[in-house]
Amino acid sequence: MRIERAVDAYLRHVSLERGLSEHTQEAYRRDLAVYAEWLAERGVADTSGVMTAMVAEFAAERASAHPPPASSSLARLQSSVRGLHRYLVREGTETEDPSGRLRPPKAARRLPKALTVTQIEELLDAAGPAPGDDVPAEPAAVRDRALIELLYATGARVSEVVQLDVDDLAHGDVVRVRGKGDKERIVPVGSYARAAVDAYLTRVRPALAARGHSSPRLFLGVRGAPLSRQSAWLVIQQAAERAGLEAHVSPHTFRHSFATHLLQGGADVRVVQELLGHASVATTQIYTHVSVEALRDVYATSHPRAR
């Protein structure tokens, strides 16, 4: 089969049968475009012409590129290539998998960065006034405060929050979140976030919705269309700049902070796993190491014989 046809067939399989997110599918598409171009430069136009040594050479070249790719990007690239060749074998298009000996790189273990509770509060105040504050606020500021309050209150991914519908909040003090693989989970919403969202729903969203086409999405842009992930990212960056936070702040920072603060407050790791929507508790346990680091810092600065 021609390389281009094989890639197209695999991407259709990924989209229709595996239910991966559009973001992940686009990453696979970019990775395999790089792979197909690399093969074409070596005169390989058909999948039967791909040899084990070629796949190994491709992986080695990508690993030694300048600037060097992140280990996570390299691992995803190799996963895309392995997935393509395994698919071709399963479908009977090829009999051998030339990527079978490819081993993913070891990812550098980096602890997620969490903000302190004080930094979270400073960032929220920079986004917009709290409900009940006797301070005039622009409509966008009311929305932005609600957005960031909800990110921190639920630990949801930014992609999950911008996909929320108004009806997903119609359950009192909980919100229905759709995660990876379209799996749903119910997450409690604290009083601060609920008040901020209620202020946005009553004071701002009706006017925004009137400019658009009656979208059910909770968060809307200035023209009434659903707020995009990129726009939400910009809201967070601008609030962090106004707050004067030197630490890098991204939408995922709130997810890290949510998990870390819960565990430091005594929450059970399996409860946090459920709230975050992790399939495995091992994924959640990285946050327990963050808490250990915090304990070490306190010990180092407080104990007379720590140094």
Residue 11 CA to residue 25 CA, distance in Å, equals: 7
Catalytic residue among 28, 87, 152, 287: 287
Q: Which of 72, 73, 1 is nearest to 30 (CA)?
A: 73
Does the active-site annotation cover 85?
no
**What phi, psi does 184 have (nearest 5°)?**
-95, 145
Residue 43 CA to residue 207 CA, distance in Å, equals: 58
Q: How many CA atoms lie within 13 A of 125 on its CB side?
A: 10
Catalytic residue among 13, 86, 252, 289: 252
Q: Which residue has the tokens 């030197």?
A: 246
Does the active-site annotation cover 252?
yes
Catalytic residue among 62, 157, 194, 205: 157
**What phi, psi does 188 have (nearest 5°)?**
-65, 150
Catalytic residue among 86, 180, 185, 203: 180
Does the active-site annotation cover 261?
no
Does the active-site annotation cover 303?
no
Does the active-site annotation cover 200?
no
Catalytic residue among 85, 255, 256, 261: 255
Does the active-site annotation cover 180?
yes
The set of residues, in sequence order, having a beta carbon less than 8 Å from that of 58 and lying 6+ positions away, is: 35, 38, 39, 81
Task: Tell me the β-bridge partners of 188.
Answer: 174
- Residue 143: strand, helix, or coil: helix
CA 85 to chain centre: 27
Catalytic residue among 82, 143, 256, 278: 278
Q: Which residues are catalytic?
A: 157, 180, 252, 255, 278, 287
